[in-house]
Amino acid sequence: MSELKQKLKNLLDTKTAVKVPLIGSQDFQDISSKKSDSLLLKAVNNEKFVEKRDAELISNIDQVYFNSSDFDFAKFELEKLPRVLDKKLIANDVKNLRAQHEIVEKQLLQLILENQAACDDELDKIGMLQNKLKSSLENCEYAKNCLKLAKRQITTAGLGLLGNCRKKSLILDLLNSLNSIKMLLQTEKKLEELVSQANYAKGIALLLECTQGASPFKQFTCIAALSVKLQDALIMTEEQLDIVLSNMCFNFDNEKYSAVQEAYRRLGKTRIAIDQLHMHYTSAVHSTSFDTINLFVNTDKVENNKNSFALLCQCVPDEQLIPCLIALSKIFWNILQSYKKAADWHREFKDISTDSEDDIEEYVNQEYISKKFEIGPTRLWGDIITKISNLVFNSNMTKFKFDDFLQVLSILNKHIKIGEEFCNSKSEQLQNDTKKSCISYFHTYHKNCLDELTIFFENESWTPCPVKREFNLFQLQEYRTIKNHIQKTDSSRLTHSRNSSMDSSSISTSEYFHFTSDKSPFDNDLNTTYCEDILDTEIDGNSICSDDTNNSYEDTDNDNITADNYERPPLLTNTTLTVMRHCGKYLKICNILKSISEDVVTCLCQLFEYYLYSVHLLFTSDSMPQICSGVNSVKLQSVITRICNTLIQCNHENETNQDPFIREPVALHMLSLSDANNLYSISERIVAVESLVFLGEQYKLLHSYLNSLLTSDTSSYSLQQFFNQTVAVAVDLRKPVYGRVICKSIDYNQVLGMMTKVNWEVKDIMCEHSGYVDYFLQELRAFFKTLKTSTSNIYLNEQVLNSIWEAIAVLVSSVFIEGFSLAKKCSNAGRALMQLDFTQFMSQITSICPINPLPHKELVEVYIKAYYLPETSLETWTRDHQEYTHKQLLAVINCVCQNNKRSRQKLTNLLEESLQR
């Protein structure tokens, strides 16, 4: 039995022996190829089945096969056989063992293939290691040979020399170390000298060098203490650098700043230095604003020192606001100027350092600095503008004087322009708050100006103000700052380009930063009064024309009055000067804050409208005879009505402070319009009307500039309408004002009475004119004689004389037509007498009248010719000449048709129907 088991064991040994081919051999490749092909074929045919079967077979392998490499698997299998052998059972076990062997063999081959590359690498490493071992072995053999040679050749004396050289080298190393220690100990004193000389870069370099040099000698106690001192000195130097950096916020020094930046660069803290710099600027804004406000606050109102900035601003007295605002603005200006210089320094440094593109760290630092200086100005300006807004808009500016308010507005406008230049910031919140505050103040101020003008009109003596001959509004101090802008706009006539005109008056880019370090844009923001030279000191204040050479007209034999060609000063009153000054103040606001220009221009136009309305009201309050109604202008009357409806407050009982209307002036007793001794205040009338005309001429000088201030087409159209209608009708006020004096001074009723007594039914043509003609001429001469006496203190220019003569012409034409219409019957000779009288009158008046022909002459001539018309043409004439009154037309009809009742009745009925229509 034992022999049989031994035979089975040998058989199993031969069957289970696995021949592992050599890696890289042909057999290995053939076997690998065959196995891989077989596995691939099996995987393709029945991959799932094989995997499942293999998994089952592998799981059935006893674990003892894997525990030890010395395991005797043949003995293990034989011991498993029963005492009674079963051939079939043994065959089945052998079959299972073979299947398991194939699976294990397959897995082994797969693992070998997968790790073949790693195996090759390891073999290469083994080869390299063998080469290195071979080289080391050769070196060792060479060293042994050299040692053997040295042992045979070197003597004891040579070894002594080598020992001495070694000692010398050690002593030299010790000496160098001692010198280094000595230099380290002297560093502190040298560092203090460098810092005191502001040579921070060398100081930092020395500190870093000493710190690095002290590291090899830390075993020495003195060097360890020195290292601590050096570290403390480095910290103190950084603090000193930070102090110098903070001082740059107010007084930028290019050399010091360069030294500080170089020191931070040596420390490797360039970005930290920029962060600290911006932090210092922010801190400087906050600290200096508090310090400045505390100098001006009312200490009684301050509860404690921890109040917020807004509460402190409320404690600043109104009279201290402007000095406080100027002081704060100057400090902020220094901070901004310093910041801009720092930004310029870094920009120049970046341009210089662009060559070193290989230094990546430096490039990153410069990019970081650029980003910081892109964001920093906006943040810094935001802090500054917040402080300015808190100071200004926490005060009550409604009680400010106009000049004070204008000064505040100018300072705010400069801040807006600085912000736009400094960081391209529009400062929208500041602009909105400024505009809102300005509109509120301006409308209140405008209402007060109108109230002031009312008092002026009620107390005006209407005597001329003695100004120089070349006087205009540009000579007033209110126009001093805006004169160039107005004249430039007027000369260029760029009314079509409003935006460019507005920009022309604004401060150009980078204008402020051209100031030197000891000046700021706010140095001139103090109340300054300019001297204006407008009064004519050579003329007596009570009389514009005090001697014969300055008389406004010359005496002639027939009392003719002619205008003097000698250049005369304009006729204007104190009220006129006041209105022009108000206009100048209004335009100052426009020049500073153009966003409210439309409101200002509207109020400026209201000043002229109120002046026009007041002069019309005061000097046309006396009644106008119906016969002189022709002097009234329909256009003037419509303008007066519009002003009354839109501007004048007629119901004084309902007037409130919020009411936009203004009360009309009341004529006081000093204005005697019914006194014939002074020719019904003809001098005052002339001064009043001519001052209005002069004011209109001054407004025309501002037309182009006012139009350039407007931004909308609607406002521009309204302004054009104002000049075309309101300003243009100022000259039309002459005839109704002067006409009232003429109608009262000339006894036209006596002329009409004399005309009624004339016999117009004469049969023979007369060769002598009627007596009323001479009387009428006598009245005119008497009027001009009285006019000369009454206007001795003023001069009459050509326009005034022409206006007087135009009013006289209206009276003459009305008197003649009215007198002729009083004739109930008229013969052909009587009609010729009418023509003779009027022709004689015109020939006589031509010698004293500067206007040729006399206005409205044709109106009388056409009326006289109507008496010559046949009855058949009278109907057409009546229909075409509606400028005559109903009474005058009826008189012509009665005279022409006095012998034909039917035609007379027909024409009368036709005239009545026309009147009804």
Tens-place pLDDT, residues 811-821: 898 899 888 88
8 Å CB contact between 468 and 535: yes
Specify the range with the lowest mean pLDDT, choosing from 314-323, 439-448, 539-548, 701-710: 539-548
Place of tokens 């050399």: 255
Give the per-residue pLDDT at 566.
53
What is the rounded average pLDDT for all residues in the chain?
Answer: 78
Cβ neighbours for 502, distance < 8 A, ≥ 6 positions apart: 594, 708, 709, 711
Residue 860 to residue 819: CA distance in whole angstroms: 11
State residue 505's pLDDT score.
34
Dihedrals phi, psi of 836, to nearest 5 degrees: -65, -45
Task: Please give the residue that has the higher pLDDT: either 139 or 256.
Answer: 139
Which has the higher per-residue pLDDT, 870 or 691? 691
Concatenating the DSSP letter of every residue in 628-641 gives GGGG--HHHHHHHH
Q: Which residues are CB-neighbours of 885 under 8 A, at least 6 positions away?
A: 821
**Among the residues of 702-747, which ranges form H helices?**
703-709, 713-721, 734-745
pLDDT of residue 765: 76
Strand partners, 467: 535
* Average pLDDT value for residue range 763-771: 82
Inform me whether the pLDDT recorded for 679 exceeds 90: no
Contact 559/848 with Cβ under 8 angstroms?
A: yes
Instruction: Name residue 649's beta-bridge partners.
Output: 663
Question: Between 239 and 447, where is the model more confident?
Answer: 447
Find the mean pLDDT for residues 118-138: 91
Distance in angstroms (rounded) separating the CA atoms of residues 772 and 754: 6
Confidence (pLDDT) at 129: 92
Share of the chain above pLDDT 70, in %: 75
Q: What pLDDT score was predicted for residue 180? A: 61
According to the model, what pLDDT value does residue 873 have?
A: 81
Could you give phi then psi for residue 538, rounded to 5 degrees?
-80, -10
What would the two tokens of residue 549 be?
């050479």
Whether residue 172 has pLDDT greater than 70: yes
Whether pLDDT at 43 is above 60: no
State whether residue 588 is helix, strand or coil: helix
The whole-number pLDDT of residue 82 equals: 78
Could you report the per-residue pLDDT of 827-870, keeping only the tens digit for each?
A: 888 888 888 999 999 998 888 888 888 888 888 888 888 888 88
Lowest mean pLDDT, pick from 300-304, 354-358, 659-663, 764-768: 354-358
Q: What pLDDT, in 10s, does the model give residues 377-409? A: 999 999 999 999 988 888 888 788 888 888 898
| Residue 863: CA count within 13 A, CB half-sphere | 28
> Where would I find the H helices in 394-427?
402-423
Token pair for residue 655? 């007037």
CA angle 871, 873, 879 (to 5 degrees): 110
402 or 70, higher pLDDT? 402
At residue 574, does pLDDT exceed 70?
A: yes
Does residue 313 carry a pLDDT above 60? yes
- What is the spatial distance between Cα 194 and Cα 466, in angstroms, rounded to a whole number? 75
Average pLDDT, stretch 77-83? 77
Q: pLDDT class for 64, splitting at 50, 70, 90? A: confident
pLDDT of residue 502: 35
For residue 853, whether the previous peptide bond is cis, meaning omega lies within 30 degrees of 0, is yes
Cα separation, 602 vs 439, in Å, equals 12
Per-residue pLDDT, 301: 60
Identify which of 414, 355, 418, 334 has the alpha carbon closest to the alpha carbon of residue 381: 418
Provide the pLDDT for residue 305: 55
Average the pLDDT over 156-165 and give the result: 74
Asked if the model's pLDDT at residue 729 lies above 90, the reply is yes
Report the amino acid identity of residue 833.
L
pLDDT of 907: 76
pLDDT, residue 651, reads 46
Indicate the range of 144-158, 200-214, 295-309, 467-481 predicted with least confidence: 200-214
Residue 749 reports pLDDT greater than 80: yes
What confidence score (pLDDT) does residue 694 get?
A: 94
Q: What is the pTM of this model?
A: 0.69
